[in-house]
Amino acid sequence: MKRAILSIIFALHIGAGAIADEGMWLPMLVERLNYTDMQKEGLQLTPEELYSINNSSLKDAIVNLGGGFCTGEIISDQGLMLTNHHCAYSFIQKHSSVGNDYLTNGFWAMNKEEELPNEGLFVQFLVSMEDVTPQVLSSVEGNMSEMERGNTINAAIDSLQKAAKGDTHYDIKIKPFFGGNEYYLFVYETYRDVRLVGAPPESIGKFGGDTDNWMWPRHTGDFSLFRVYMSPEGKPAEYSPENIPLKPRYHLPVSLSGVQKGDFAMIFGYPGSTNRYLTSYGIKEALEISNPTRVAIRDKRLEIMKTHMDANKTIRLQYASKYAGVSNYWKYFIGQSQGLKRLKVYDQKKALEDQFTNWVNQSEGRKAKYGNALKEIEQAYEQIEKFNQAYIYYYEAGYAPEIVKIGVKFKQLAETLSEDGPDSSKVAGLVERIGEYSDDFFKDYNKKTDRDIFIGLYDMFYENVDPQYFSSTFNALSLEDTSNFFSGFEVNETGDVKALADFVYGNTFLVDQENVESFLKNPDVEKLTSDPGYKLAIDVYDGFYNMYNKRKEAQEMRNRGRRLFIEGLRKMNPDKKYYPDANSSMRITYGTVGGYEAKDAVYYDYTTTLEGVMEKEDPDNFEFIVDPKLKALYEAKDYGRYGQEGKLIVNFLSNNDITGGNSGSPVINGKGHLIGTAFDGNWEAMSGDIAFEPDLQRTISVDIRYTLFIIDKFAGAGHLVDEMTLVTDDSSNKEPVKKKRKRKKRNNSK
């Protein structure tokens, strides 16, 4: 992402002098590694204004949602937070009903009393980070096995985290970087009262649906608004009506000036996971086993869900968020495979590995330390291949029926009932927790839909997985099986999954809320452990972990080889600027606004407009419905101060380096002003989590002016815009980060 001459050779560019806007950089290291390059691109802020422990800085306006599934940014001095619509989707869905359908109609709180609390949602602000590699690795010895090394490191991490936390209210997390060669400690402040403030209807926030997902040109208003609350004393607190809006250390000014080609653009956020150091062996495994298996299973699951959702509006609401989650990475795996093949990533990785091998063989010392790194990785994948398809089937298909999810929730209760009896206080606590879980579960559950998913996916499992890896559930489908695992079930035909589904769903209490509540009033261990739904769930659970453990030894071998490979790469190229893979820690990426050449004779411009929304309109396709009010505003060209030369920009492109977890991240210009919200990548660069392609990889963002337009002109919620600090970015108006208040230096991370 950064224009940091990063010829990170493990990515695509091995040739000398390759320039790439690439990298996900730790903010505390930006001054040393990237600042000069960022200035050349157009940054006008100081390193202290980007990241500071003692003073307010841009990092104080950035939050991770729920531990890192998305990113958000604070955009007012009253704790107003902006993120993506798809990040808020499950919370909007939970507040929706057929009679009060916020997914279809949108939601806007016209005052703070109307804002909706969200159980389970929390945000975290980064307070500080610190390199603790020497402390974590101090007791590691070279002759340790990978298991011994891991146990030693885990003990050191546990001790350091406890010492850092002390008696503070902060959350402490130590994460590995560069395959376990480095470790950093992060201090977070967590706020658990986060309320939904506004969300456009799906026809805006999800315009284009699955068809346009990962595609450019895009015309999606993918944004939503929350507000973070604190206690009256100014501290993080659980939800309470007495809480007050957060007074943030810093909030982002919002630009009304828009973007031009070549403008500087940086993104702060919490990218979830990349695999830029993946070897050719990993590419081969992804293309031949992992990706096609996941795509096939998800394809079937989506087909079944869609059939039920199209037939019933209640089921559509119940399964909307689930469908979106399955669909997103179904399409991702398809695109990733195409990108890996088209860009010949396997060949590029192999070339790098050959270069590494040549370097290693030039020194006996290198051969002693790094000589087996690639060999161990290769051997590990050979072992993993034996179990991998079964492992994926257990994960993607075995866990797909929700009867398994709710059944596993009873596992600890069954164990406690056996040990302590039904009257223990521990049982009472578990019963209460399961009761709370079941309320949410059954709100969004349909038995027939779940049963059909069971039939479709378990039939695939039975047909495609080697029988030696079958758990008792799948063995019960064989006429030769005499174990009578499901007491009372008789196989009439080998592989008759429908008959098994009829038996399980017809004889379990787990798929009916009244029956679950009745059981919880008088929990009985024998009834639970003999229930076919519970037996199914625990059997599939055990089957998955059996596959997981079979892979474990090979995974340890692979991880050791990977760690040494990454260490050797960095020593092979000591002058290169390397960045670690994403791991849900805060990163900065930087680049510029601009289009790209997708393929021969196809060039994409860097902005889309509301006119494109109207061109895509299709009243017969729910993905491309246009709201009548939006159409009226378009026809009147009533864009207010948010238009530009008679047009309204909807989305724009930049060459920033992002991945999942960056959804909702702020796109910030060289003066520190918010210009957009990142929400997607482009189809031509779907292999980007493994290998960055600077000519193709782009970030798709909502232009902040479109967001303001929807809030103000479409929703009539101008009071929210009034909260924000709106600025223009003419050349005479540099507005640096204001150091609102100095904070005492904290030593809780020492």
For 627, the 3-state DSSP assignment is: coil
User: Which tokens hold the place of 502?
Assistant: 């009829």
Measuring CA to CA, how many Å separate 258 from each of 75, 343, 645, 669, 705? Answer: 17, 33, 11, 10, 7
Candidates 545, 321, 533, 536; CA nearest to 443 is 321
> What tens digit of pLDDT does each residue of 696-729 get?
999 999 999 999 999 999 999 999 999 999 999 7
pLDDT band of 340, cuts 50, 70, 90: very high
Residue 738 in this model has a pLDDT that exceeds 90: no
* DSSP code per residue over 543-594: HHHHHHHHHHHHHHHHHHHHHHHHHHHHHHSTTS---PPP-SS-EEEEEEB-
Candidates 697, 740, 665, 736; CA nearest to 70 is 665
Residues 623 and 66: their CA atoms lie apart, in Å, by 28
The domains of the chain, with CATH numbers, are 2-7+21-122+192-276+581-727 (2.40.10.120), 280-558 (no CATH)
Residues 699 and 654: their CA atoms lie apart, in Å, by 5
Which residues are known to be catalytic? 86, 222, 663
Residues 660 and 69: their CA atoms lie apart, in Å, by 8
Residues 745 and 708: their CA atoms lie apart, in Å, by 37
How much is the average pLDDT of 412-427? Answer: 90
Measuring CA to CA, how many Å separate 687 from each of 249, 286, 345, 591, 638? Answer: 37, 11, 8, 19, 40
How much is the average pLDDT of 329-352? Answer: 96
219, 613 in Cβ contact below 8 A?
yes
> What tens digit of pLDDT does each residue of 565-591 get?
999 999 999 999 999 999 999 999 999
> What tens digit of pLDDT does each residue of 291-326 get?
999 999 999 999 999 999 999 999 999 999 999 999
Q: Which helix (H) or strand (E) holds 679?
A: strand 674-681
> What tens digit of pLDDT does each residue of 193-244 get?
999 999 999 999 999 999 999 999 999 999 999 999 999 999 999 999 999 9
Residue 17 in this model has a pLDDT that exceeds 70: no
pTM of the model: 0.91
